Amino acid sequence: MSVDLEFRDGAAIMTLNRPEALNALSFAILGEISRVFDKAAASKARVLLIRGAGEKAFCAGADIKELRHRDLMAQKQGAEFGQSVFARLPSLGMPSVALINGYAFGGGLELALACTFRLAVEKAKMGLPEIKLGLIPGYGGTQRLPRMIGEARALEMIMTGRTIDASEALQIGLVNQLYDGDPIDAGLRFSAGFIGYGLPALSFAHQAVIRAGDTTLKEGLQIEADLSTLAFQTADAEEGMAAFEEKRKPEFRDA
C-alpha cells in the first residue's frame, strides 16, 4: 500500500508512503486516499493528520508520466476525480491537519489546501508550478488558494509558478504554524487546542467559515444562523452550557 493509516492518541494518521517518488500522486493513490478517508471517518478518531513519508517531501504533486497521452475526456475525468477526493476532507466529520515536512508542490499543495489546517517545517517548500508545464492546477488550487491568501497573491503564485518557503507561507496565511521535530508530535500538540471539543460544533464552525467564500455576506449570515441553530439542538451544547453554569469542565459526547 502507498497510503498508510494508523491511530494514536485520538488521531487518525494518514501517511503518503511513496518516498522514492517524493510521495507523488497517481490515480491509484488517489483511490487509496479516498479509502483511507472512509476508514478514518468510520473510526473514533477526532482529527486526521496527513503527512508524507521520508525526509524530503510531503507530496511533490501528480505523477506527470501518468498524465501524458490521455484524451480530452480522460483528462477532465482525472481532474474531477482528484477534486472529488480532496473535497471529501471538509465532510469527514473531523478536522484535518496537513504536516508539510518538505516539498509540497502541485497536487501535494492542493491536498494540503483542502485540509482544515496546515503546519510546516522551516525547510518546507511550496508552490503550484503547473504553469511551467503549460498547465494550470487541476485539483482545486485555483479555487482554494485565493480564498486562503487573496486573489493577488494567488495569481502571482499560480501564474509565475514560483516556489515559496515556509516563512513566507506563514506570513501570507498559507500555513498556520511552523514546527520542528517529529511531525506527528507537532500535529498532536496543535490538535490539542480543539480535539477536546464536540465534533458537531467543530464541523458546523468549519462549514460556516468555508461557505463564506461562496456567497454574499447576507446569505452567509443566514448560513451562520442556520448552523448556529443546529448547534443549539445538540446534546453537546446543552452539556457545554450546563458545565459553564456549574463551573466544571464539559464532557462532550459528539452528539
Task: Tell me the catalytic residues.
Answer: 110, 130
Contact (CB, 8 A) for 85 and 127: no
Collapse the DSSP code of 216 into the 3-class scheme (helix H, G, I; strand E, B; otherwise coil) and give the result.
coil
Name which of 51, 46, 45 is nearest 33 in CA terms: 51
Burial of 56 (0-12, 13-18, 19+ CB in 10 A): middle
Q: What is the C-alpha to C-alpha distance for residues 243 and 255, in angstroms, rounded to an integer?
A: 16
216-239 in b/e form (b: 16+ CB < 10 A) is: eeeebeebbeebeeebeebebbeb
The secondary structure element, H or E, covering residue 58 is strand 57-59
Phi/psi at 49 (5° precision) = -100, 135
Contact (CB, 8 A) for 45 and 81: no
Q: What is the C-alpha to C-alpha distance for residues 83 and 176, in angstroms, rounded to an integer?
A: 23
Collapse the DSSP code of 89 into the 3-class scheme (helix H, G, I; strand E, B; otherwise coil) and give the result.
helix
